[in-house]
Amino acid sequence: MLTPAIDAYLAIRRSAGFGLRVAEGFLRNYARFATARGETHVREQTALEWAALAPSVSQRGRRLEAIRIFARHAQAEDTRHEVPRRNVFPRQRMLYRPFIFTAVQIRQLLEQAARLPPSDSLRPWTYCTLFSLLAVTGLRISEALALRFEDITADGLVIRASKFHKSRLVPLHPSAQAGLERYLERRRQLGGGDDHVFISSRRRGLHYSAVQETFRTLVQEIGLGPDPGRPGPRPRIHDLRHSWAVRALENCPPGYDYVRQHVLAVSTYLGHAKLTGTFVYLHTTPHLLSDIANRCEDFFKGATS
């Protein structure tokens, strides 16, 4: 009974645009746990015991919340399902502090990528171009790896139904367009049946795991990371996107109205579903926060005068 109900729930939610990859894993794991006990419906005690098996408080909270949402849906069709209580395992979310690359550090990363072996292969061109593209466009790594030849247009990059199932056109600076074309000239010479822009030595689309491993190697080789004695974040691939967003926001003209319009433009360019996805970058752009704070202070002073 649980598996068919889970299948129906996932189908309905996904038809509305939700991915639910992690939630599906939780639900199917719970179904196996409950079925082993001979249960065919959600039981609160069983859900609590299953969630408690997770190694951290945060993970326990995520597990239980996934069951709660599913149980509310399933209960509408079958009242024998129980909806677990809220906040039994409070979800604890740590705010990640991104590593913001400087222009010099990005140049070092790209120069090191250009030295990747074999020197006479496409590999150094692939990684140098890939990391350059992430740095100058703020693309998600998944979006860059999904690019096909047909997505490279004179107007920019066509990003098709990526995160949040949104498509968008990402304009390129002429210098970025020229750099990408230089890479594509070499890439097209390989031919093959795979039309991914970025491919591996096996002439297939690059896998994220391979890109991540190469990125970590390059970062280690050039010595990027927190200063000795000063703990901080180590660079991730996604931090190239963070860095682009921060630089874009830092270039915003002063003034509340400019900030509001600029943040909206950056949010659209990045493909965020909500402005809140863009606001998280403001904590690393203090002059924008200061401008917004001053505007709020002026407002409240006027309201009380």
Q: Which of 140, 187, 196, 262 is catalytic?
A: 140
Rounded distance, CA 288 to CA 291, Å?
5
Q: Which of 72, 123, 160, 163 is catalytic?
A: 163
Catalytic residue flag (residue 9): no
Return the CA Rg of the chain.
24
Q: Which of 13, 238, 247, 260 is catalytic?
A: 238
Catalytic residue flag (residue 140): yes
Catalytic residue flag (residue 281): yes
Q: Which of 9, 183, 269, 281 is catalytic?
A: 281
Catalytic residue flag (residue 204): no
DSSP result, the chain: -HHHHHHHHHHHHHHTT---HHHHHHHHHHHHHHHHTT--S--HHHHHHHHTTSSSHHHHHHHHHHHHHHHHHHHHH-TTSPPPPSSSS----PPP------HHHHHHHHHHHTTPSSTTSSHHHHHHHHHHHHHHH---HHHHHT-BGGGEETTEEEE-S-GGG--EEE---HHHHHHHHHHHHHHHHH--S--BSSB-TTSSBPPHHHHHHHHHHHHHHTT-SPPTTS--PPP-THHHHHHHHHHHHHTSPSSHHHHHHHHHHHHHHHT-SSTHHHHGGGGG-HHHHHHHHHHHHHHHHHHH-
Query: What are the Cα distances from residue 57, in Å, to 30, 62, 92, 247?
Result: 17, 9, 7, 35
Phi, psi at residue 157, to the nearest 5°? -95, 130
Catalytic residue flag (residue 272): yes
Catalytic residue flag (residue 242): no
Rounded distance, CA 162 to CA 143, Å?
6
Residue positions annotated with a catalytic role:
140, 163, 238, 241, 272, 281
